[in-house]
Amino acid sequence: MIADGTLRPGDRLPSEGELSERLGVARGSIREATRMLAAFGVVETRHGSGTYVGSLTAADVISSMTLTVGLLPLESVIELYELRKVLDAHAASLAAARHVPSDIDELSGYLEQMEGSDDDNVHSLLDHSFHMRIAEIAGVPAVEAMLGVLRSRSRSYRIFESASAAEIKRLSNEGHRAILDAIARRDAPSAAAAAVAHAAQTEHWLRQLRPPARANSEDMPNGE
């Protein structure tokens, strides 16, 4: 009913009993399906009111993938870097075309703080903010959401805490600077190339260091 458009965003779903009768399945199956759809952001249950179709925006549905992507082991996270490189490049390219001067000032502020920080957690937080701000400037919520999902797991692998941290930070900041300079020049091809190179560099460090996964905190995320 949702897929064929019979029920649209904001519509109330029929009762559990009505769905069971209409679809010819047990109420327990309806209940479990509803829970799954809620976990993926397709429906939302309002206490005392019923179950309603969610907004069904691409970004909201994609964001719900964090639940499953957050369970992936390192090998699968590394595999996802092939997708990261494509999306990072596209976001940087769009940001180069669509940014306004204040965006460059904001990104420059993140980068200057990163370059001046010796605190791993602060550097990681700024790194994450820098990359997600580029995705936001790109202006495609679905791309921003997917990058957020992909980063949600990769941030668990803390390459900045290794013995090679100083070298990683130096190369990471150089990569950030190359991305920012190209975006500021409105040079979309160079911005895309710099973003791919930066993501590939992080992939290299993950393969080489193979850090253990650690729980993330929203206050102290780990960047790449």
Per-residue pLDDT band for 172 (boundaries 50, 70, 90) equals very high
pLDDT number for residue 194: 98
178, 194 contact by CB (below 8 A): yes
- Predicted structure pTM score: 0.85
Give the type of residue at 50: G
Average pLDDT over residues 125-136: 94
Both tokens of 187, joined, read 């040079």
Per-residue pLDDT band for 102 (boundaries 50, 70, 90) equals very high
pLDDT number for residue 216: 59
Poorest-pLDDT segment among 105-109, 125-129, 144-148:
125-129
pLDDT at position 217 over 80:
no
Average pLDDT over residues 111-122: 87
Per-residue pLDDT band for 84 (boundaries 50, 70, 90) equals very high
Both tokens of 63, joined, read 């964001």
pLDDT at position 218 over 50:
no
Give the type of residue at 13: L
34, 43 contact by CB (below 8 A): yes
Give the type of residue at 216: N
pLDDT at position 61 over 80:
yes
Question: Cα–Cα distance between 129 and 197 in angstroms, integer?
Answer: 19
For residue 159, the Cα-to-chain-centroid distance in whole angstroms is 18
